[in-house]
Amino acid sequence: MYISLRPWEIEDAALLAEYFNNINIWNNLRDYIPHPYSEEDAVRFIEGQIALSPTQNFAILNEGVLVGGIGIILQEDVYRMNVELGYWIAEPFWAQGIATIAVGLMTDYVFDSFAINRIVAEVFDYNKSSMRVLEKNGYHLETVRRKGILKNDLLRDDFVWVKQKIY
């Protein structure tokens, strides 16, 4: 297994749309990501990412095959020393350790490439494997927002994991 990150390419659009149309993936994503997710949605996302420098969102590859995605959202105003991390792995590739390696690579990249102090990752209460990925990468559970999110018409807990830059 060789895990790497690379910027998104327009040629990834069809596979990205296919992966995001899996309800098991979408159930762990924010609602601003459409469902169903069209190839046109994927092209718009990728075109928006190509323009950013430094790169903020990457495709996750296993042996050169697209298996997921990982990225950050820069925060603003008084939160500007933070970024929010998000990632997903396509269901056929779950439970192989891919996310753990990708989060480690992205964490190093973010601290090296952006003038920030903290990386924050929010995880829905039912996604225990994602919490384990963060824990393995040195993130700590900062807080739980009880009934802090509404996903699929259900109030759920939101687990907030953080990793701070060590100076």
Which pairs with CB-CB distance under 8 Å and at least 24 residues apart come from 22-26? 22/90, 22/91, 24/91, 25/88, 25/90, 25/91
First to last CA, the chain: 32
Angle at 78 between CA 108 and CA 55, to 5 degrees: 35
Q: Is 167's pLDDT higher than 80?
A: no
Residues 6+ apart with CB under 8 A from 134: 103, 121, 123, 161, 163
Residues in the chain: 167
Q: Per-residue pLDDT tens for 140-159?
A: 999 999 999 999 999 999 99
- Per-residue pLDDT, averaged over 83-99, amounts to 97
Q: Per-residue pLDDT tens for 93-137?
A: 999 999 999 999 999 999 999 999 999 999 999 999 999 999 999
- Per-residue pLDDT, averaged over 72-87, amounts to 97
Q: According to CATH, what is the number of the domain 3-164?
A: 3.40.630.30
pTM score = 0.95
Q: Per-residue pLDDT tens for 14-72?
A: 999 999 999 999 999 999 999 999 999 999 999 999 989 999 999 999 999 999 999 99
**Domain ranges, ordered by start, for the chain:** 3-164
The confidence score (pLDDT) of residue 166 equals 81
The confidence score (pLDDT) of residue 8 equals 98
d(C-alpha 151, C-alpha 110), whole Å: 28
